[in-house]
Amino acid sequence: MKYYPVHLDINNRNVLVVGGGGVGSRKVRTLLACGARVTVVSLEASRQLLDLATSGEIILEKRSYQSDDLNGMFLVIGATNDEKLNRQISGDADRLNTLCNIADRPEVCNFILPSIVHRDDLVITISTSGKSPALAKKLRKSLENQFGEEYGTLLRLMGAIRKKLLRQAHEPEAHKPLFEQLLNSDLIGMIQENKTDDINALLFDILGEGFKFEELMER
């Protein structure tokens, strides 16, 4: 395994995207969804980026990249089709020990971005270590079909139950059999079919009083 898998917390972190086309726009959307403070530097910008800049969601600098654009940045993403510029961004980031990803150029990155399947806080990532984006895409589509939106609801429910049990001073080790029972039941099917009464009956059987699906999902 060449790369160390890690999920980064970029909430309120300064992130630079160089390139304002389709690839850069997609990167910006994901960065914003994760709470980053995004600056885009590009001579050209997509309509989406222009709209985001107008609404104040990003900073857009319509000019050429300069090395000092990296000052104060937590990470940088290069999304240009200019190989010389991409290598300059990579070299600048390396000198500053800044995290750097260059789209479709794993050889000049110090981290790569996986394909993603997400259902609320459930995030499944697929990486081929940069060897085959086509295979990563195929696997992502397969996982998207396998894990529907009900898995996001399931995760929210599990999180709410865990939080409530911890407030009741239960030992974390004592939770394991309870969660195993829930996950080995047909709970996911009940959620998928919106069978609230059946879910509540299951929660009562396993967890006892005080665990109602509707109330837990409001937390």
Using pLDDT thresholds of 50, 70 and 90, give the confidence band for residue 81: very high
pLDDT (0 to 100) of residue 77:
98
Answer whether residue 218 shows pLDDT above 90. no
How far is 2 from 175, CA to CA, in rounded Å? Answer: 35
Residue pair 28/52 in contact by the 8 Å Cβ criterion: yes
Quick one: what percent of the chain has pLDDT higher than 90?
A: 86
Closest CA relative to residue 15, chosen from 56, 72, 75: 75
Q: One fold for both 1-113 and 114-147?
A: no
Answer whether residue 32 shows pLDDT above 80. yes
**Average pLDDT of the segment spanning 4-12:** 94
Answer whether residue 167 shows pLDDT above 90. no
Alpha carbon 143 to its chain's center: 15
Using pLDDT thresholds of 50, 70 and 90, give the confidence band for residue 178: very high
Q: What is the CATH number of domain 1-113?
A: 3.40.50.720
Residues in the chain: 219
Residue pair 84/92 in contact by the 8 Å Cβ criterion: no
The structure tokens listed for 36 are: 């980053």
How far is 45 from 57, CA to CA, in rounded Å? Answer: 15
Quick one: what percent of the chain has pLDDT higher than 70?
A: 99
Protein fold of 114-147: Double Stranded RNA Binding Domain (3.30.160)
The structure tokens listed for 116 are: 């993603």
CB count, 10 Å around CB of 98?
Answer: 19
Residue pair 32/55 in contact by the 8 Å Cβ criterion: no
**Average pLDDT of the segment spanning 45-62:** 97
Alpha carbon 66 to its chain's center: 28
* Domain coordinates in residue numbering, the chain: 1-113, 114-147, 150-217
The structure tokens listed for 49 are: 């980026």
pLDDT (0 to 100) of residue 219:
67
Q: Which amino acid is at 42?
A: S
Average pLDDT of the chain to the nearest whole number: 94
pLDDT (0 to 100) of residue 45:
96
Alpha carbon 166 to its chain's center: 26
Answer whether residue 163 shows pLDDT above 70. yes
